[in-house]
Amino acid sequence: MSSALRSVVQQSRRSAFVRSARFASTSTKQATLKERLAELIPAEIQNVKETRAEHGKKSFGPVLVDQLYGGMRGLPALIWDGSVLDPEEGIRFRGKTIPECQQLLPKAPEQVTSLSKDWAARAAIPDFVEDILDRCPPTLHPMSQFSLAVTALNHDSAFAKAYQQGVSKKEYWQPTFEDCMDLIAKLPNIAGRIYRNVYGRGKLPAIDANKDYAYNLATLLGFGEKSEFVELMRLYLTIHSDHEGGNVSAHAGKLVGSALSDPFLAFGASLNGLAGPLHGLANQEVLIWLRKMQSKIGQNASDEAVKEYVWATLKGGQVVPGYGHAVLRKTDPRYSAQREFALKHLPEDPLFKLVGQIYKIVPGVLLEAGKAKNPWPNVDAHSGVLLTHYGLEEMQFYTVLFGVSRAFGVAAQLIWDRALGAPLERPKSYSTAAIQKIFKDKQ
Ligand code: CMX
């Protein structure tokens, strides 16, 4: 057998081994998420070990100096199995596209129910965190309040406590898991409190242990009575959860987590990254931009007037929010999933129609302008329109919902990183003088 063939056979045996562990059925039905992870981790550790033994010393392609200066675009630098982003096709979660997930899930309703109950039981936030939020001025951006509250949850971190007590490396994932479950569980109460405090929406209702996460989140925000909004939250939470490992929020969480900062500190970093206008804040920016456009050129404006407005944005040295992407080169399937939802539930909504009109105009303008590598819409171009339709009109709050959703991906990554013994991240930086010297010496 040639070495290449041997390598393929070994790889396929390994994948089969991991797959068989992942889909081993006997205990799956009854197991809790934590028990299931405990079953899966040994096979994944073995998988990584063998992959490194076989491929660890192989080159993964050249690094261009432009990548050092250019935000590391396309630089292979991280491992994350939870989701993978293809430039043409978009995101796959554990190998499944968004339409496939919509068809297949939920696959294990009993487990989903018990997980929902577990999150409901962990949902209360400490009094002092409530105090922090209640003392924030309503003028403090909701994302800053969100980040403050999440960081403060580290007061009760199981991981930080276990580390102080000398927990073994092999056990790191277990207190990390507990912190991640607490983190996810507490987010609806944090988000709900921020929304109600900032916009004067009265007291928070209690979590209902017999309802799912999306229903409870919607209820705490004050929209639980609207079943379509609850359905929207199910879609929203899923499609925003993860977008492979290199985006700012996912990578910030992984980076900070690699210092063994606990999940609250690590996810606080994710939120601070998500709060930037080139990342998650773009969903707020899209609505602000749309509203400004409407006030400038009126509602039901002609294609020509919209086109002129888009050009004016570009000529003013600003980006068109909700368009472009660092990796994607086609329309984001997360945009398409939201568009399908809108076509089903709110086809006549005027703002939805405007978003559709813009979809026909912006890509052509961006192409003609000739700078953006991807002229197509991303997830943020659509989400605000759906939220606005159901009455959640406070656009400064939108990125908080993105943050609640992103916790699922970041938490999963933190748990797996601790289970697989991911080391401290420490890439090498160079000075411009060093770059010049290296290549001068090579001439
Ligand atoms: N409007 C105007 N110009 C754009 C543009 C847009 N929507 N998208 C890219 N460009 C410009 C870039 O600013 C850059 O200009 P300079 O050369 O002057 O710096 C040039 O086109 C090349 O950029 P790129 O390689 O195509 O894109 P990047 O990987 O550098 O950036 C992104 C990606 C998302 C930051 C960029 O497309 C952008 O700013 N989009 C608008 C903001 C947005 O919607 N962000 C949300 C992304 C999804 C998310 O993370 O939530």
What per-residue confidence (pLDDT) applies to 9?
45
Give me the torsion for CA of 108, 115, 337, 192, rounded to 10°.
160
Torsion 40-41-44-50 (CA) sign: negative
The contacts of residue 110 (CB under 8 Å, 6+ apart) are 29, 30
Name the CATH architecture for the domain at 285-389: Orthogonal Bundle (1.10)
Ligand 1 pocket mutation, candidates 241, 338, 371, criterion most atoms within 8 A of CB: 371
Q: Which atom of ligand 1 is nearest to the CA of 243?
A: 50
Q: Which atom of ligand 1 is nearest to the CA of 380?
A: 51
Ligand 1 contacts CB of residue 367 (under 6 A): no
Mean pLDDT in consecutive groups of 10 residues from the start of the chain, 443 residues: 48 52 52 94 98 96 96 96 97 97 90 95 98 98 98 98 98 98 98 98 96 97 98 98 98 98 99 98 97 94 97 98 98 98 97 96 98 98 97 98 98 98 97 95 73
Ligand 1 contacts CB of residue 283 (under 6 A): no
Please measure the distance between the N-terminal and C-terminal CA atoms of the chain and give it in whole angstroms.
43
Residue 84 per-residue DSSP state:
E
Torsion 71-322-93-329 (CA) sign: negative
Catalytic (active site) residue 242: no
278 alpha carbon – ligand 1 mean position (Å): 7
Active-site pick, 141, 325, 382, 389? 325
Q: Cα separation of 151 and 153, whole Å?
A: 5
Q: Cα separation of 13 and 149, whole Å?
A: 46
Residue 424 per-residue DSSP state:
P
372 alpha carbon – ligand 1 mean position (Å): 6
Ligand 1 contacts CB of residue 321 (under 6 A): yes
174 alpha carbon – ligand 1 mean position (Å): 39
Q: Cα separation of 231 and 209, whole Å?
A: 18
Closest Cα partner for 210 from 120, 274, 273?
A: 120
144: burial class by Cβ within 10 Å (0-12, 13-18, 19+)? middle
b (16+ CB within 10 A) / e for 11-29 = eeebeeebeebeeeeeeee
Catalytic (active site) residue 325: yes
Atom 21 of ligand 1: nearest residue by CA position: 372
Active-site pick, 380, 382, 389, 417? 380
Q: Which residues pair with 85 in a beta bridge?
A: 91
Atom 16 of ligand 1: nearest residue by CA position: 371
Alpha-helical (H) ranges within 56-124 are 65-69, 98-104, 109-121
Q: Which atom of ligand 1 is nearest to the CA of 327?
A: 29
The contacts of residue 63 (CB under 8 Å, 6+ apart) are 75
Residue 200 per-residue DSSP state:
T
Give the largest CA-CA distance in the chain: 71
- DSSP string for residues in 320-355: -TTB--SS--S--HHHHHHHHHHHHH-TT-HHHHHH
Q: Cα separation of 142 and 271, whole Å?
A: 11
Q: Cα separation of 237 and 239, whole Å?
A: 6
The contacts of residue 180 (CB under 8 Å, 6+ apart) are 263, 411, 412, 414, 415
Ligand 1 contacts CB of residue 319 (under 6 A): yes
435 alpha carbon – ligand 1 mean position (Å): 27
For the chain, the domains span 15-54, 109-279+396-419, 285-389
Catalytic (active site) residue 345: no
Q: Token pair for residue 222? A: 């004050």
Residue 90 per-residue DSSP state:
E
Q: Token pair for residue 428? A: 């090498």
375: burial class by Cβ within 10 Å (0-12, 13-18, 19+)? buried
Q: What amino acid occupies position 48?
A: V
Ligand 1 contacts CB of residue 326 (under 6 A): yes
Residue 288's alpha-carbon distances to 281, 282, 299, 379, 439, in angstroms, are: 11, 10, 15, 16, 47
For residues 331 and 355, is the Cβ–Cβ distance under 8 A? no
For residues 381 and 285, is the Cβ–Cβ distance under 8 A? no
Q: Which atom of ligand 1 is nearest to the CA of 70?
A: 30
Q: What's the number of CA atoms in the CB half-sphere (13 Å) around residue 439?
A: 8
Q: Cα separation of 203 and 7, whole Å?
A: 61
Homologous superfamily assigned to 109-279+396-419: Citrate Synthase, domain 1 (1.10.580.10)
Residue 96 per-residue DSSP state:
B
b (16+ CB within 10 A) / e for 148-164 = bbbbbbbeebbbbebee
Atom 13 of ligand 1: nearest residue by CA position: 319
Cis peptide before 106 (omega within 30 of 0): yes
